[in-house]
Structure 1
Amino acid sequence: MEFNVKFLSFYVIEVEGSGDDASRHYKHYQTLDQEQFDESELKDFLDGELKKIVKRKAEHHPKSDQVPTKIGRFLTEADYPLDSNPNYALFQKTIRAETSDVFTEHSNTFAKLYTETAAVRGGVFLVASAVPKKYFSDEFVFILKCDFEPKVASISDESTLLRKIEYAITTKNMKSIQYPFMIEEGMVQPAELKIHQASHARYFQDFLAFVEYGDSVPVMMREQVKGMMTEHISESFAEESEEKVNWERSLDEWETSDKREINEHLETHQVVEASAQIVEQTPEARIQVKLGETEVKGLLADFGESLHIAKLNGRYVLIAEADELTFEKGATPVEFYKPEDIYSLIKKMNDRSAD
């Protein structure tokens, strides 16, 4: 998807010092209209970047907290319109700007908001409004941030050889915001935007104080499991009973622990029913189990169907069913193994325990 840039405001963000005493300010260099932009060096610099930003995939509930591209949604109080959100209102004013002066006024607000964030960094800050050449009824605002590249030099002439560049920028690791979020070509969601930033650079999203981002799948699943177990405890035990207190303590320990061992409390049908509620919302929800030194990964939906956990003589057994068995990474004699009948295997395991 290619764009016609209507307006683009160019800023330099400067930060002197560090911490709370740091001096932060922005300087507006110029605002270009479409004709000026098409004739400027910025067109070559940003050539393909807007297209790349729009093509980046994002999910409302990403698979990890550290994904670089996220979908944000404007926060509103119940029964209040989107216009009540100051971030949304600012994006709307910027999109509707018909003159360079009006566009610059709203771009200045974005730049000011950015310099007020706790971990602001120096660099080039760009605000652009653009219209797709194909879907000209849609309009977008892009906010781009390029950090300064330290210790950059360029080839100069025969006498000096190298010339130090005071401010150098690159599109590498460029942070960006696209508003509105485009669900697919020709279809946009005005209540959402898309942000892209290095996974460790969460500071870039912090200047939009009234935008929320969906929990990752692991966080969402943990909250769902906690809610289900809390409900189970409430229904199963009397208030203030010792069993209820012990259960709640166990659940608190589970929630804060990185290494979680199995808690033998629920029957198969209870776990399958609880898992079904999660799978209904997140079909790709996964389960990852470590049995001794062996790791097994699979879909949560498979538990109770083709993935089973059992106990044999006090030890845990994990059984996985499939129509095929394939190997990855490296070669071992196991690839030529003729599997024995499971009943004879269980007998062998029983006999081993008896010894």
Structure 2
Amino acid sequence: MKFAVQYLSFFVIQNEGSDPNGPKKYKHYQTLTHEEYQDSELKAFLDGEFKRIAKRKAEVNAVSENVPTKIGRFIVEPGYDLTSNPNYNLFQRLRTATDKTEFHHCSDDVLRLYMDTISVRGGAFVLATAKLNDLFDDPFLFLFKCDFESKIARVSDERSLITQVEMAINAKNIKSIQYPHMPEEGMIEEWELKIHQASHARYFEDFLKYVSYEKSKPEIVADQVMGLVHQYMETKWQAADIPYYDVAEEGEDAPSAPVTEEVAAMRQEKQQFDVWAAGEKRELQEKWAHDHVMEATKQIVELQPDLELKFKLDDILIKGHMDDYGNNIHIARMNGRYVVLIEGDSFQFEKGVSPIELLHPEEMQEVLQRVGNGVRRRASGEAPPLD
């Protein structure tokens, strides 16, 4: 996969004062044609980046909310085509530029939009069109943002030994945009672009106001779970002859009956579910029976296969798949303590040797008896508590 650069514009964004978070200004350094790029130092610096960005995989529904690489989609009103999207039109002007002057002017328009965002930082800003001549007639558009590296020095001569480099950039943490998205080699999605940025920043999401991003898989699962929670609430309270819309709290747009004890209890339960769902770290709620959880899990796994199941029991981390629950992973109570049972056909140990690998396992009944005896001894004070 070898990209041939058509045009490239190089800008530098700098602070106007000493405050790194203060006002910024930018300067255009050069716009290069294909021939000029071949003879420039940028070729060695950027050539590998085009291929790296194009091959970087991303999913429309990301595995988490903070993945660095995302797929964006241009937003249009129903019944309208892509030419109604301002971000698309700006990108197309760059892709169809016929000379270096036109490309420079279009690049300047992009940079001025970027300078209006709160995410702007000092560094180099590069825009380039590059073709895959073996596959497509139209070029791809690449945007690179390279931050300045501070406290970089280089050996200079025998007298001063080192020289401080005030504006140094490297390719290690390049932020980028590629349009159009190429999910597979030889296939393009003209409605989609691919962005790559630090997970804690939103360098390009603030800048591209008319691009949307699909929900991540955890967000989709959370929505599905809350949908099942609302079904549960509706079934539970309608069985008590209380319409579920009575759960509406003050100010919500729904009919509301007099606040009886039942309605108050329903509102309290709804609030408990909302607080639980919003928590960063959550505890076992102990509200649904095993069969209810199995049915809910089955519905979610049908829509989202290969979902991860991950939780901690005290300081022990358990990882598996959502469909392992009730099949290979079981959760139970024993004498007031939680027990996780994990079953399988074989063990595999990694990184070092431990005596546990020499174990000849006991039968389950013996283990349960030993665990129960330990719990009783701790409860009676015969043995110290585990913590």
1:85-104 to 2 correspondences below 5 Å = 85-104=85-104
* Equivalent AA in structure 1 for residue 308 of structure 2: R
- Report if the CA contact (8 A) 2:155-2:161 is conserved: yes
Task: Return the alpha-carbon distance in structure 2 between the equivalents of residues 236 and 18 of structure 1.
Answer: 62
Which residue is equivalent to 2:131? 131
3-state SS of 1:70 partner: strand
Which residue is equivalent to 2:280? 258
* Equivalent AA in structure 1 for residue 39 of structure 2: E
| From 280, 294, 298, the counterpart of 1:272 | 294
- Report if the CA contact (8 A) 1:7-1:100 is conserved: yes
* Equivalent AA in structure 1 for residue 313 of structure 2: L
* Equivalent AA in structure 2 for residue 38 of structure 1: Q
Tell whether 2:77 aligns with 1:55: no
Q: How many residues align?
A: 355
Q: How much does 1:71 deviate?
A: 1.6
Q: How much does 1:165 deviate?
A: 3.5
Q: How much does 1:347 deviate?
A: 4.5
**C-alpha offsets along residues 312-345 of structure 1, whole Å, 9 cap, x if unaligned?**
3333222222111223445433222222222343
Which residue is equivalent to 1:189? 189
Task: Return the alpha-carbon distance in structure 2 between the equivalents of residues 280 and 179 of structure 1.
Answer: 33
Distance verdict in 2 for CA 1:354–1:201, change over 3 Å: closer
* Equivalent AA in structure 1 for residue 81 of structure 2: P
1:20-31 to 2 correspondences below 5 Å = 22-31=22-31
Task: Return the alpha-carbon distance in structure 2 between the equivalents of residues 18 and 231 of structure 1.
Answer: 57
| Residue range with higher mean Cα deviation, 241-250 or 178-187 | 241-250
3-state SS of 1:194 partner: strand
3-state SS of 2:285 partner: coil
Task: Return the alpha-carbon distance in structure 2 between the equivalents of residues 313 and 274 of structure 1.
Answer: 27
- Report if the CA contact (8 A) 2:309-2:320 is conserved: yes
Task: Return the alpha-carbon distance in structure 2 between the equivalents of residues 61 and 342 of structure 1.
Answer: 41
Tell whether 2:347 aligns with 1:321: no
1:192-207 to 2 correspondences below 5 Å = 192-207=192-207
* Equivalent AA in structure 1 for residue 124 of structure 2: V
Task: Return the alpha-carbon distance in structure 1 between the equivalents of residues 235 and 84 of structure 2.
Answer: 41
Uncovered stretches (5+) of structure 2, i.e. residues with no partner: 247-262, 378-387
Instruction: Name the Cα RMSD after superposition.
Output: 2.5
Percent same amino acid at aligned positions?
A: 45
* Equivalent AA in structure 1 for residue 192 of structure 2: E
3-state SS of 1:203 partner: coil
Which residue is equivalent to 2:252? none
* Equivalent AA in structure 2 for residue 274 of structure 1: A
Which residue is equivalent to 2:70? 70
Which residue is equivalent to 1:119? 119
1:330-349 to 2 correspondences below 5 Å = 330-349=352-371
- Report if the CA contact (8 A) 2:119-2:202 is conserved: no
Which residue is equivalent to 1:300? 322
* Equivalent AA in structure 2 for residue 258 of structure 1: E
Provide the TM-score with structure 2 as the length reference: 0.83
**C-alpha offsets along residues 57-83 of structure 1, whole Å, 9 cap, x if unaligned?**
222233333322222222233333222
* Equivalent AA in structure 2 for residue 187 of structure 1: M
Task: Return the alpha-carbon distance in structure 1 between the equivalents of residues 280 and 162 of structure 2.
Answer: 52
Distance verdict in 2 for CA 1:40–1:352, change over 3 Å: closer
| Residue range with higher mean Cα deviation, 146-155 or 222-231 | 146-155
Q: How much does 1:212 deviate?
A: 2.4
Provide the TM-score with structure 1 as the length reference: 0.90
Distance verdict in 2 for CA 1:312–1:163, change over 3 Å: closer
3-state SS of 2:57 partner: coil
Which residue is equivalent to 2:233? 233
Task: Return the alpha-carbon distance in structure 2 between the equivalents of residues 155 and 329 of structure 1.
Answer: 42
Which residue is equivalent to 2:212? 212
Q: How much does 1:138 deviate?
A: 4.5
* Equivalent AA in structure 1 for residue 202 of structure 2: R
Which residue is equivalent to 1:9? 9
- Report if the CA contact (8 A) 2:149-2:167 is conserved: yes
* Equivalent AA in structure 2 for residue 200 of structure 1: H
Which residue is equivalent to 2:180? 180
* Equivalent AA in structure 2 for residue 146 of structure 1: C
Which residue is equivalent to 2:304? 282
| Residue range with higher mean Cα deviation, 236-245 or 283-292 | 236-245
- Report if the CA contact (8 A) 1:287-1:300 is conserved: yes
* Equivalent AA in structure 2 for residue 111 of structure 1: L
* Equivalent AA in structure 2 for residue 33 of structure 1: T
| Residue range with higher mean Cα deviation, 344-353 or 25-34 | 344-353
* Equivalent AA in structure 2 for residue 152 of structure 1: I
Higher-RCO chain (CA-CA 8 Å, sequence separation at least 6): 1
Distance verdict in 2 for CA 1:151–1:309, change over 3 Å: closer
- Report if the CA contact (8 A) 2:58-2:70 is conserved: yes
Task: Return the alpha-carbon distance in structure 1 between the equivalents of residues 158 and 280 of structure 2.
Answer: 60
3-state SS of 1:249 partner: helix
| Residue range with higher mean Cα deviation, 110-119 or 278-287 | 278-287
* Equivalent AA in structure 1 for residue 55 of structure 2: K
